[in-house]
Structure 1
């Protein structure tokens, strides 16, 4: 798939601009703070319903603006073109697909974007919720029942936590139904997550051999959030008193985590900051490859500030690899990365929220 056109209104420093992208490489160059990353952020928002940047959601809207809008046309491999729209008024997202109001999840399923950016190292070095988000986004695009199941799990979790905060431990008749729902939906989510990681591993190995061969073979470690040989419903029942003391549910898929381990760097602490970034990039590219194989078309690949995040050799390895695919790639930098100097690409100059096509 590829973005044919992207129209942005009141997104951060961007007032009202439209871009038409080429099928292959597209490069946005300009000074820091000019608005380059906001273009990639817009594509990411269409695909995730959230930004990859930290901070308040209100910061997404241009100062003085009363909301933001993102419009795009997305072309698929078979020739179909879908029109996507995402708007934010106050605290609420509004999604449209081919002119019709749709649920946000339906819009997100239509546009697949993976992104490597300066904060991506948090996927390796950050909190577990970063890794769960990465994993669940991948599962969402595979299992159509995932979103509904995940929402039911979250609802049951909220209800159980509310009961646990009562002055005295509620009767089992109150807790039992919510624990049953947590166990039922949690077991499904766990199975889907395991299957996804199993499918991801061969692509992780390929990308690790390309970008970090000196660290040896790569493996995945997964912790589902409760003991592997126990039933979740039984665990929750046994932990009621302890959980009440803590005021929240301490076992379940909301406590899951995963990590990568290299043959010569079995612990995360063995990795340098640069190796953490490369490991995060390996995960992002592996996810793109897996999605391409399963869908029969490539997701859109965003590389923010490529030249600053990777040394020249690793930039070349990534660009050469992506050149062999049908992926549309959006790259940003303060100047044209040297590895793209002889690569056919559409270029845009970005200055104070204005974008000008150069080639």
Structure 2
């Protein structure tokens, strides 16, 4: 898939910016704080309805603005053109697809963007929430029934947590219906996550071997969030007293996690920051490749501040791999990276939220 046109209004320092993108490599150069990352962020928002950058949602809005909007024309591999729109006025997102109002889930299923950026090492070294987001985004794009089950699970979890904060009794009549619903939905989520990880495993093994051969054999481990020995509804019943004390549900699919363990780095703490970044990059590339295999087209790939994150050899290897895969790439840097200077690219200069095409 290719973003042919992108229009951004009111996003951080981008007051009103429009850009026509190349089908292959697009490079955005400029000083720090000029707005380069916000261009990539706009594309990512269309695919995730959230930013890859940390901070409150209010920080997305340009200072003094009350709303933001992102519009894009997206060309699929079968030549189908989709017109995407995402806007925010107040606290709620509104999505449009080909001019019609749609649910956010329908919009993000239409557009797939993966991103490697300075915070990507959190996928390896950060909290489990980052790894669940990565996993569930992948499952969402290959399992059409996943979103409905995930929403069902979130409803049941919200109800049980509400009871834990307000109930004065552990009575089955209050808790059992929601625990049964929670357990059934969690079981389906767990099955789909496991199936996805099995599909991902060979691609991840190959990607890691290419980027981190010095770490030896890789083991991908998954923990579903509750014991394998008992049904989740039974475990929730046994856990009620402790959950009442804590005020939230401590077992379930929302507690799942996965990890990478290497032959020569068995603990996460054994990895250097550079190795964490390369492992995160390998995860992104493996997920993009699996998406392409399943959907018949590569997702759009964003590489933010690539030159500061990778050495020249790895920069060249990644861009060459993406070029061979025929993926559209959006890349930022304070200048055109040396590893890319011989490659055909559309280059834009970004300054104070304004874009000018250089090449």
Corresponding residue for residue 271 of structure 2? 271
User: Do structure 1's residue 230 and structure 2's residue 230 form an aligned pair?
Assistant: yes
- Residue 167 of structure 1 and its aligned partner are, at CA, apart by 5.5
Deviations 1:332-355 (CA, angstroms, capped at 9, x unpaired): 000001111000111101011000
CA distance in 2, matches of 1:218, 1:246: 36
Corresponding residue for residue 15 of structure 1? 15
Q: TM-score, normalised by structure 2?
A: 0.98
Corresponding residue for residue 147 of structure 2? 147
CA distance in 1, matches of 2:297, 2:320: 19
User: Do structure 1's residue 328 and structure 2's residue 332 form an aligned pair?
Assistant: no
CA distance in 1, matches of 2:102, 2:323: 35
Contact 1:44 1:50 in 2 (8 A): yes
Report 1:299-338 matches (<5 A): 299-338=299-338
Corresponding residue for residue 295 of structure 2? 295
CA distance in 2, matches of 1:145, 1:169: 35
Deviations 1:170-215 (CA, angstroms, capped at 9, x unpaired): 3101111000000100000001111111111111111111111111
Q: How many residues align?
A: 359
User: Do structure 1's residue 56 and structure 2's residue 51 form an aligned pair?
Assistant: no
- Residue 327 of structure 1 and its aligned partner are, at CA, apart by 0.3
Corresponding residue for residue 111 of structure 1? 111
Corresponding residue for residue 216 of structure 1? 216
Report 1:83-232 matches (<5 A): 83-166=83-166, 168-232=168-232
Deviations 1:101-133 (CA, angstroms, capped at 9, x unpaired): 000110000000000000111111111111111
CA distance in 2, matches of 1:344, 1:183: 52
- Aligned Cα RMSD in Å? 0.9
Deviations 1:279-328 (CA, angstroms, capped at 9, x unpaired): 11111111100001110101000000000001112112211211211100
- Residue 218 of structure 1 and its aligned partner are, at CA, apart by 1.5
Partner of 1:165, secondary structure, is: helix
Partner of 2:114, secondary structure, is: strand
CA distance in 1, matches of 2:124, 2:222: 13
Contact 1:210 1:317 in 2 (8 A): no
User: Do structure 1's residue 70 and structure 2's residue 59 form an aligned pair?
Assistant: no
Deviations 1:193-241 (CA, angstroms, capped at 9, x unpaired): 1111111111111111111111112221110001112211111112112
Partner of 1:350, secondary structure, is: strand
Corresponding residue for residue 6 of structure 1? 6
Contact 1:204 1:218 in 2 (8 A): no
Deviations 1:62-117 (CA, angstroms, capped at 9, x unpaired): 11112001000000000100000000101010100000000011000000000000
User: Do structure 1's residue 250 and structure 2's residue 244 form an aligned pair?
Assistant: no
CA distance in 1, matches of 2:88, 2:237: 41
Where in structure 1 are there 5+ consecutive unaligned residues?
Answer: none
- Residue 262 of structure 1 and its aligned partner are, at CA, apart by 1.2
User: Do structure 1's residue 353 and structure 2's residue 353 form an aligned pair?
Assistant: yes
Single out whichever of 54-63 and 168-177 deviates more from structure 2: 168-177
Where in structure 2 are there 5+ consecutive unaligned residues?
Answer: none
